[in-house]
Amino acid sequence: MVAGATGAAYARVLRPALFRSYGGDPERVHTATLAVLAALDRNPAALAALRLLTRGPRRPVEAFGLTFPGVVGLAAGMDKDGVAPHAWAALGFGHVELGTVTATAQPGNPRPRLFRLPASGGLVNRMGFNNAGAAALAARLDTAGVRRGSPAPGVPVGISLGKTKTTPLEDAAADYLASFAAVAPHADYVAVNVSSPNTPGLRSLQDAATLRALVEALVGAARAQDPDRPVPVLVKVAPDLTFDALEDVLDVCTGAGAAGLVATNTTLAREGLAAPDAWRAGEAGGLSGAPLTARARAVVGFLASRTDLPVVGVGGIVTADDGQALLDAGARLLQVYTGFVYAGPALLRAVDARAASAPVAREGSRA
């Protein structure tokens, strides 16, 4: 009853107020929300109270050598600079993926670059990896006491790595390695983002030969840093890849020593938009949220049926049924972003509660 009341309050009161604030500018609302969460992050009493409000049934999950207290985590992109890792955990996320971060600071693409599609339950973004850089993220996490294997914030912390826009594609591996060297002491795992549509040429890094060299370089760096317990390296793939291309990605990840896959990123497709949002179809950028639900499920199911690597399911989770469908398709863990924007913290509790009550072994999953 508490979760239901909280969810209703968010949908009827808080979300409309947020969507109207700052002239309806989604990015300004996002920035202001992060500022509030950053303040909470430094207040132990507030964090304790938040945990009491958001607690609910969860099922622990084991994946790539880590224990996750719940099945649903925060997707990359929500907190690029790691300003609120403790607050995200207190809200009920079972893990937090910070970033995407690049080797050097960059402003991202020109504004406006974030658009709501409320009738479709989606977002379009072309942020372009706006962030303060890997060194700044590492320094912030060090101050916050977030280090690999540390008890704070109480959930695994992943860090998504991307390529600096001005770095030539032929130098991409060195760029990713520079980011890895900076953040690895603070990361329980890293995710290699080669699938954002908002950095020119980035998705070409999913080509088999290029991806193999990049993953091998990062896995090698992880083993050199800690030979006994290297940081797990995951690869995040685009939903727009063909199944043949996904097979190539699987072959590369398996052979190069990747620990898992994150599926999926945002899509360039525009199927599934409701009529009131059709005018946004021409906006450049990646589409997320409900229009991605079916494709994300298909990609997760394809990958999970062909590999023993854990798959983190992302994309189109706007209800507990959506989350359970991705788990049934073979995902070991889940991440949310757009669904959280529209449904709030109640979505986390609903997804976790559904997963906790469902059988662990699911048909079609090799996880």
pLDDT at position 8 over 90: no
Give percent of the chain above pLDDT 90.
92
pLDDT of residue 269: 97
Tell me whether residue 236 is annotated as binding. Answer: yes
Instruction: Report the range of poorest mean pLDDT among 111-120, 149-158, 221-230.
Output: 149-158
pLDDT of residue 9: 83
Distance CA 108, CA 220 (A): 29
Question: What angle in degrees, to the nearest 10, is found between the helix axes of 208-225 and 243-256?
Answer: 30
Tell me whether residue 289 is annotated as binding. Answer: yes
pLDDT at position 183 over 60: yes
Q: Tokens 């509660």 map to which residue? A: 353
Tell me whether residue 129 is annotated as binding. Answer: yes
Tell me whether residue 172 is annotated as binding. Answer: no
Q: Give residue-wise pLDDT tens across range 58-73.
A: 999 999 999 999 999 9
Q: Tokens 């964090």 map to which residue? A: 47
Task: Report residue 78's pLDDT band, with 50, 70 and 90 as the boundaries.
Answer: very high
Is the Cβ–Cβ distance between 268 and 240 less than 8 Å?
A: yes
Tell me whether residue 344 is annotated as binding. Answer: no
Distance CA 313, CA 330 (A): 8
Is the Cβ–Cβ distance between 140 and 80 less than 8 Å?
A: no
Give percent of the chain above pLDDT 70.
96
Tell me whether residue 189 is annotated as binding. Answer: no
pLDDT of residue 363: 39
Q: Tokens 């997963």 map to which residue? A: 355
3-state secondary structure of 67: strand
pLDDT of residue 364: 39
Distance CA 72, CA 84 (A): 17
User: Which residues does residue 237 pair with via DSSP β-bridges, in sequence order?
Assistant: 263
pLDDT at position 208 over 60: yes
Distance CA 284, CA 277 (A): 14
Find the mean pLDDT for residues 229-257. 97
Tell me whether residue 316 is annotated as binding. Answer: yes
pLDDT at position 7 over 90: no
Find the mean pLDDT for residues 81-99. 98
Give the residue from 112, 89, 103 showing the smallest Cα distance to 29: 112
Please provide the distance, in angstroms rounded to a whole number, between the alpha carbons at the two ends of the chain.
Answer: 33
Q: Give residue-wise pLDDT tens across range 278-324.
A: 999 999 999 999 999 999 999 999 999 999 999 999 999 999 999 99
pLDDT of residue 360: 63
pLDDT at position 24 over 80: yes
Is the Cβ–Cβ distance between 356 and 327 less than 8 Å?
A: no
Distance CA 334, CA 358 (A): 15
Query: Which pTM was predicted?
Result: 0.96
pLDDT of residue 288: 98
44 CB-near residues (< 8 Å, 6+ apart): none
Tell me whether residue 67 is annotated as binding. Answer: no
Is the Cβ–Cβ distance between 129 and 113 less than 8 Å?
A: no
Tell me whether residue 163 is annotated as binding. Answer: no
Q: Supply 294's token pair.
A: 């079916």
Backbone angles phi, psi at 283, to 5 degrees: -65, 130
Tell me whether residue 308 is annotated as binding. Answer: no
pLDDT of residue 1: 41
What is the set of domains in the chain, with CATH numbers? 2-357 (3.20.20.70)
Instruction: Report the range of poorest mean pLDDT among 6-10, 85-89, 127-131, 258-262.
Output: 6-10
Q: Give residue-wise pLDDT tens across range 137-151.
A: 999 999 999 999 888
Give the residue from 121, 214, 206, 142 showing the smallest Cα distance to 174: 214
Task: Report residue 49's pLDDT band, with 50, 70 and 90 as the boundaries.
Answer: very high
Q: How far, in Å, are 103, 170, 272 from residue 131 at the CA level?
A: 10, 22, 31
- Which residues form the catalytic set? 196
Helix (H) or strand (E) holding 347: helix 346-357
Find the mean pLDDT for residues 244-249. 96
Tell me whether residue 19 is annotated as binding. Answer: no
pLDDT of residue 5: 60
* Alpha carbon of residue 135 to chain centroid: 20
